[in-house]
Structure 1
Amino acid sequence: MAEVYFVSLRAKDEKSSVLERVKRMTKKLLEGRLEKDDLVAVKVHFGERGNHGFIKPVFVRYIVEAIRDLGGKAFLTDTNTLYTGFRHNAFDHLETAYFHGFSYPSVPAPVIIADGLRGSDFKEVEVNLKHFKTVKVASAIHEADFLLVVTHVKGHIEAGLGGSIKNVGMGCASRSGKQLQHGETFIPSPDQEKCIGCRRCVVHCPAEALYLDANGKARVLVENCISCAECVIYCPTEAIGISWSSSSVTLQERMVEYAYGVITSKKGKVGFINFLTEISPDCDCAPWHDASLVPDIGVLGSHDIVAVDQASADLVNNAPGLSNSGLKKAHQPGQDKFKDVHPQALWQTQIDYACALGLGEKKYSLVEI
């Protein structure tokens, strides 16, 4: 049975400070696994502009201090988004991170966008699973010696639950990797009105599947296309659009296969911290933040990605639902809050599939810090 550490939000004096207990929990996750001078990728979500539910920098500071105390070299990281927003490329992403307080002196760690300037810096990792033979993991995350995943637990319109599995599977993928998770076999279809003939898609296509016609518009040689979605990344006018065609079940399975590629390549040098605070119906990628579904609960930590997400879901679902929230019916303890707000997304799929792939176990014991 996996151990899941639990930090409650109750505190009566400085010795029981939530921040200090989060720091102690972090050290428990690192001790015996972190080596001196290890480069530690602290995978966080910096939050989209207009959103305020992301994990507060002061908590991340104490996590980084725990890493530094044990001799590690921490950097904060995330990957560029598939959709167009304020985290679509490294320039805008860094500015958003700084805007939300993830910079010196608030947090003593540099910020590195893991998949590069435009989201095309990745390493192919072999997995040989149902949906993917290889997955595209952001380079800085793949090359880090240790991965500490720090997640704000919330709902998600397609995955149902946004926990550590999603933060690793989707959050550690390059932009083209995200596209392959969201869409069935991807074949670009350039919008001729939006295309400006800049040739970026042509230059960056690794399979010579794109060209400009006599009118200077992008066209596709379908027989050459390898569905890598690199053209989506480089198109400046969104003439080559994103495909969102995956079902919730398929998306979650593909997300788990990406998580498998990230975690198995780390050989045990990985830990997970889930914040059960400001638990909103929607992801921190939304440019807004809705009222919490349940009261704030606490912070969980584990070496087991399945157990920490299962425990997170259990604690949320066993809590009383708040009346002034997005909940429709599941206000009683024991009712499924995530299913209530996103009935089309069966969140248990990701946990069951991760368990089936050997990433962890659903049975756990809570150990209070």
Structure 2
Amino acid sequence: MASKVFWGSPRQAKLDANETLPAKLDLILEQLHLRDRVKDELVVLKMHTGSNIGYSTVHPLFVRKVVDAIKEGGGQPVVADIEWDVKGAERRGYTSETLGCPIYPAAGLKENYFYPHHRPYKNIEEWHLAGAIQDATFLVNFAHAKGHPSCGYGGAIKNLALGCMAGKTRSAMHDAMHFDPYWFPEKCPDPAVRKAIIESCPFGAIVQDRENESGLHLHFEGCNQCGRCLQVAPPGSLKIDPVNFHTFQEACAISTSITLSTFEPGKAVHLVLATHMTPVCDCFGFTSMPILRDAGIFGSDDIVALEQAVLDETAKYPLIEENIPTSMEVHTRVGHPLRWLHGPYKDPYKVVEYAEKLGLGTREYELVDVLPVASFQRTSVTYIPAS
């Protein structure tokens, strides 16, 4: 059965505030019946406040609208994010005064306030769920859509997967990409060849292993799977394998399932703002030019359907290639546009597939326009993934 995803288009027919995205967020909150659901609930509003001088995260105006709706419904809201981003959040406009509620480091000031969850996966035995998240009784997940160097796309799932875990677990999730071996030094004993392999990567993604002089370390975040290194490496010595890249996607789905398991059914809603989408995560601490057309604002109770809808809408137009940093390149034009940029093994849809298999929702959705406008009317569309 298809899940409903409520959508506000970035377009407007008239120069009228009621046709802009903040007003459409109000309509989405009404469709989600948020006010009716939060009475007497401790509501954690999980968002990413960004870092340093980034300004493309979810604007405080949108956050305040959600906070006000929670208060009007009789809920007690708090905003939560990871410690170092909260520490500098006020410089980017995120304060208790502007947001209308406290803003807390999700895992405490020293990243040591968490609840352990035992679920073995590759190098991870225990997942440390941030205390401010598990203590809450209702979750509002508000994410900004953008590219991501580890998985191609960062949205609602990644907002929970990394942002709700303490630092040790976040690091372990990235390290999981190295669990499956990709470098076989016995097949490349010549130091000069190893140096040539390192120099073959124009992105600096291959470096000397700090603990093993015959080892090479692949920074998967910087790798777009162009294959230049494979043209230099002796046969069988180096693998650029989908399993390493997909591991991070699966880890994100597992992490998200742990977070959502601590909330009772019906006590979580998910929102994504797909505007000013940049090549990499907002945690990089700066805002570059947008590389995709704005796709609007989305909301649903179903995180899987929501992510599928956001990806489908952002896939309708090609990359704005003139806005791509010159240090990056497009070498494939297959699949989602973010895959063009980050490489074929960083398929944004993989995390949605993993999440659906874990029972977090369905990829079948009905997209409902909360404010259809006659000039570009589209009241709803139903998506059913191919079997």
Q: TM-score range by the shorter chain?
A: 0.7 to 0.9
**Aligned partner of 1:45 among 48, 53, 60:** 48
1:116 aligns to what SS in structure 2? coil
Supply the AA of the counterpart residue of 2:363.
Answer: K
**Aligned partner of 1:151 among 143, 157, 168:** 143
**Aligned partner of 2:248 among 245, 248, 251:** 251
C-alpha distance in 2 between matches for 1:126 and 1:300: 33
Rate the CA distance shift 1:27–1:127 in 2: closer, same or farther, 3 A: farther
Give CA-to-partner distance per residue, 1:301-345, whole Å, 9 cap, x none.
01111111111111111124324222855999x952110110042
> 1:36 corresponds to which residue?
39
In 1, are the aligned partners of 2:21 and 2:297 still within 8 Å (CA)? no
> 1:13-28 residue pairs with structure 2 within 5 A?
13-28=16-31
- Structure with bigger helix share is 2
1:351 aligns to what SS in structure 2? helix
Rate the CA distance shift 1:180–1:128 in 2: closer, same or farther, 3 A: closer
C-alpha distance in 2 between matches for 1:258 and 1:132: 11
> 1:138-217 residue pairs with structure 2 within 5 A?
138-184=130-176
Supply the AA of the counterpart residue of 1:162.
Answer: G
Cα distance, 1:10 vs structure 2 = 3.0
Rate the CA distance shift 1:156–1:25 in 2: closer, same or farther, 3 A: same
Supply the AA of the counterpart residue of 1:287.
Answer: G
Rate the CA distance shift 1:336–1:31 in 2: closer, same or farther, 3 A: closer
> 2:182 corresponds to which residue?
none
In 2, are the aligned partners of 1:330 and 1:337 still within 8 Å (CA)? no
> 1:97 corresponds to which residue?
89
Cα distance, 1:50 vs structure 2 = 2.2
Identity, % of aligned positions: 27
In 1, are the aligned partners of 2:149 and 2:342 still within 8 Å (CA)? yes
1:318 aligns with 2:299: no
> 1:264 corresponds to which residue?
261
List alignment gaps of at least 5 residues for structure 1: 81-86, 88-92, 187-242
Total equivalences in the alignment: 302
Cα distance, 1:9 vs structure 2 = 2.2
Rate the CA distance shift 1:278–1:70 in 2: closer, same or farther, 3 A: same
Rate the CA distance shift 1:3–1:25 in 2: closer, same or farther, 3 A: same
In 2, are the aligned partners of 1:318 and 1:335 still within 8 Å (CA)? no
Rate the CA distance shift 1:185–1:320 in 2: closer, same or farther, 3 A: closer
Give CA-to-partner distance per residue, 1:255-312, whole Å, 9 cap, x none.
2111000112212211110111001110001122221112212000011111111111
C-alpha distance in 2 between matches for 1:289 and 1:282: 9
When normalised by structure 1's length, the TM-score is 0.75
In 1, are the aligned partners of 2:278 and 2:291 still within 8 Å (CA)? yes
**Aligned partner of 1:290 among 285, 288, 294:** 288
When normalised by structure 2's length, the TM-score is 0.72
Supply the AA of the counterpart residue of 1:29.
Answer: L
C-alpha distance in 1 between matches for 2:355 and 2:67: 28
List alignment gaps of at least 5 residues for structure 2: 179-217, 221-242, 371-387
Higher mean C-alpha deviation, range 312-321 or range 297-306: 312-321
2:338 aligns to what SS in structure 1? helix
> 1:349 corresponds to which residue?
350
> 1:230 corresponds to which residue?
none
1:247 aligns to what SS in structure 2? helix
